[in-house]
Amino acid sequence: MEIRWHILLAIMGASIVTLLPRVLPLVVLSRIQLPDWTMRWLNYVPVAVMAALIGQELFMADGKVDFFKKYIEILAAIPTFATAILTRSLLGTVVVGILSIIVLRFVL
């Protein structure tokens, strides 16, 4: 089997570029003690990222706000969010979300 060096170097370069932003903060932050206010602030980062991703998916189509094309997703999000808040179960939330989309696409 022949090794194609340009492909191997591209894979290694992509691995390094992907690994560095994940490992460097972990190494640096594991050696220092962060203040309490910073830790409280960092607790909200996953929620904010998820809200940004979900909001963009629900309310935007082709980079533009379009509520009418996305009404099925918005309607399906209502019971999904309610399940997430009430049960705090990831599996239950995913199942309700999938079933909501299936039912709404079948009915509408």
pTM strictly above 0.85: no
Please write the tens of the pLDDT for every residue from 29-77. Answer: 888 998 999 989 988 888 888 888 888 777 776 666 656 556 888 889 9
- pLDDT score recorded for residue 16: 94
User: Do 80 and 65 form a contact (C-beta atoms < 8 A)?
Assistant: no
% of the chain beyond a pLDDT of 90: 41
- Model confidence at 11, pLDDT cuts 50, 70, 90, reads very high
Residue 80 makes CB contacts below 8 A (sequence gap 6+) with 93, 96, 97, 100
Q: Does an H or E element contain 87, and which?
A: helix 71-87
